[in-house]
Amino acid sequence: GGNYNEITGNTMIGFRDGIHIDDDTDVIIEDNYIESRFWGIYANNAHGEHIIRNNEFVKYSGDGEWFVYATNMDNIIIEDNTFSGVGGSGFYINNTGADIKSNLLITPGRAIEITNQAGMEIANNTIIGDGDTDYAIHISNLSAPIVRNNIIQGFQNGIYDDNVLANN
């Protein structure tokens, strides 16, 4: 972890967790291959804008947490990545602006959870579940991202929007 870091061009194999950037500011994670058992990227109470672009994430065990866990930052950009896991869930975004675009996300858990006045846009993603998971995209607690042009397969429900705001 650390502020204003660029983590690029790495291969990380066999770790419990991928990258922890708690309380860090403006980190760029780009062009990496990351295998982990639990967290892919853990960014609790981070600051500024974080960019996760053109990476491949693999969860190789049935254990697991979220591929990307992001809370309380200004914005996170998650684009052009591949996420494939046999355990855990996809993206948890809480109280954070989020642009989630052009990703392939394969997960047996909930794919994307947007909560607590979070989100901006979820577009052009392919989201694949195992058929037993409740929601591909779960939006709640005064969050109102634009959701468009996504391919969703293998979930009990595609999109769940539980708030009083109008979503596009």
Alpha-carbon span 8 to 124, nearest angstrom? 24
For 127, residues 6+ apart whose C-beta sits below 8 A from its C-beta are 90, 105, 111, 112, 136, 137, 150, 151, 152, 153, 155
Alpha-carbon span 6 to 26, nearest angstrom? 9
Quick one: pLDDT at residue 149?
98
Query: Which residues make beta-bridge pairs with 28?
Result: 6, 51
- Spell out the per-residue pLDDT of the chain, length 168, in tens: 679 999 999 999 999 999 999 999 999 999 999 999 999 999 999 999 999 999 999 998 887 799 999 999 999 999 999 999 999 999 999 999 999 999 999 999 999 999 999 889 999 999 999 988 899 999 999 898 999 999 999 999 999 988 766 655
Alpha-carbon span 58 to 166, nearest angstrom? 35
Alpha-carbon span 69 to 65, nearest angstrom? 9
Plot region of 154 (φ>0 → left; ψ -120 to 50 → alpha; else → beta)? left
DSSP state of 133: -
Return the residue matching tokens 């991928």: 18
